[in-house]
């Protein structure tokens, strides 16, 4: 008899109040091929992209399993796998094109994973991959800053929405690499910003330029916009250096007018960490990024952005609770579920 495993997913994107918003079922445990690893999942985090993907899923016959951030141990590997051994504890952000981490065992390409930091728990490690890769790619690939300690001294960055999941790790990486860091948040979150490398917290409720000038900054070299850019376009044209760069991670539902940036020769950059795995481009760089992040964590140069933890094990109940926390947008740091898969009854019907 073939081995079976638990999966948590859905047949249709439904509000959390619907009893079918998350279902549990049994599925056949997959066998790794080529460079795949089979991972026994011990902790996952819930990201806004999980919410977005769920709510965009129409009613269908196939069972959708989401989940991106994960920590677990390798229990089997494909014949071409060469970088890891069975028993290794790894972490990764997965792929938008494959079944996710909300299942007992998951197949993942070895090129997008790394060994989890030895000085972090499973839950603390699970808080990092998706947001940290996003931040790293934006800073060091799109902005072309130097990914070395203190290497970008003299340059300044403005981070819009610095207290969010991506912002909280991006500001740490920016500070480590030598940037002077300005970030927006609500004043009640200023202490959180400071704990995560921000030199100058500013209030997003107020005009930004006067607040920058108050701390002696007239212009910045790069701007990481981790929120809808439209409310900030006019001000950004007055705050960014000529030939500066603006990076965005949030999609738009309509056009934006960037004509005012033309004579400044400002570049606009998009960052979407699933582009590489969606299109098979440079996917090995994500494993390399995570390996670098592991070293930085173990050297205590950066720290986890773990927020709230559910320790009762991974089940449809804890996944629903964690997702509700993410939907409120009120939790600092990441929301993580740990303890492996909870022992409970499995729903096998739609």
Percent of the chain residues topping a pLDDT of 90: 94
pLDDT in tens, 57-99: 999 999 999 999 999 999 999 999 999 999 999 999 999 999 9
**Is the per-residue pLDDT at 346 higher than 70?**
no
pLDDT in tens, 34-55: 999 999 999 999 999 999 999 9
pLDDT for residue 347? 40
Q: How far apart are CA 240 and CA 344, in angstroms?
A: 54
**Comparing C-alpha atoms, which of 59, 65, 2, 47 is closest to residue 29?**
2
Percent of the chain residues topping a pLDDT of 70: 97
Task: Give the count of beta carbons closer than 10 Å to the beta carbon of residue 35.
Answer: 18
pLDDT in tens, 245-284: 999 999 998 899 999 999 999 999 999 999 999 999 999 9
Q: Provide the whole-model pTM.
A: 0.95
DSSP 142-210: IS----STTTTTT-EEEEETTTSHHHHHHHHHHHHTT-EEEEEE-GGGHHHHHHTT-SEEEETTS-HHH
- 345 pLDDT band, cuts 50/70/90, is very low
- The helix or strand, by DSSP H or E, that contains position 328, with its residue range, turns out to be helix 316-328
Domains and CATH numbers, the chain: 4-130+283-338 (3.90.180.10), 143-270 (3.40.50.720)
């Amino acid at each position: 008899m073939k081995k079976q495993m638990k999966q948590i997913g859905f047949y249709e994107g439904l509000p959390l109040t619907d009893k079918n918003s998350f279902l549990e079922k049994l599925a056949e445990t997959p066998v790794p091929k080529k460079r795949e690893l089979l991972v026994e999942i011990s902790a996952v985090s819930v990201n806004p992209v999980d919410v977005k993907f769920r709510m965009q899923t129409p009613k269908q016959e196939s069972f959708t399993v989401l989940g991106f951030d994960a920590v677990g141990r390798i229990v089997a590997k494909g014949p071409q796998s060469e970088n890891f051994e069975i028993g290794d504890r790894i972490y990764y952000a997965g792929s938008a094109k494959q079944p996710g981490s909300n299942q007992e065992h998951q197949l993942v390409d070895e090129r997008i994973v790394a060994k989890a930091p030895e000085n972090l728990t499973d839950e603390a490690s699970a808080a990092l991959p998706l947001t940290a890769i996003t931040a790293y790619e934006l800073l060091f690939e799109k902005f072309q800053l130097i990914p070395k300690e203190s290497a970008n001294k003299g340059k300044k960055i403005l981070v819009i929405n610095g207290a969010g999941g991506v912002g909280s790790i991006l500001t740490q990486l920016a500070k480590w690499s030598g940037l002077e860091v300005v970030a927006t948040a609500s004043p009640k979150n200023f202490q959180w910003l400071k704990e995560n490398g921000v030199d100058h917290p500013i209030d997003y409720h107020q005009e930004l330029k006067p607040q920058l000038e108050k701390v002696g900054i007239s212009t910045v070299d790069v701007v990481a916009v981790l929120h809808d850019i439209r409310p900030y376009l006019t001000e950004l044209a007055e705050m960014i250096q000529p030939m500066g760069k603006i990076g965005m991670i949030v999609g738009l539902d309509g056009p934006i007018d960037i004509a005012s940036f033309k004579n400044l020769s400002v570049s606009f950059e998009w960052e979407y960490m699933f582009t590489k795995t969606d299109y098979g481009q440079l996917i090995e760089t994500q494993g390399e990024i995570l390996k670098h992040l592991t070293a930085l964590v173990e050297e205590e140069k950066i720290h986890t952005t773990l927020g709230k933890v559910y320790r009762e094990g991974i089940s449809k109940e804890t996944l629903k609770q964690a997702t509700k926390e993410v939907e409120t947008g009120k939790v600092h740091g990441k929301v993580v579920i740990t303890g492996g898969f909870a022992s409970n009854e499995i729903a096998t019907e739609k």
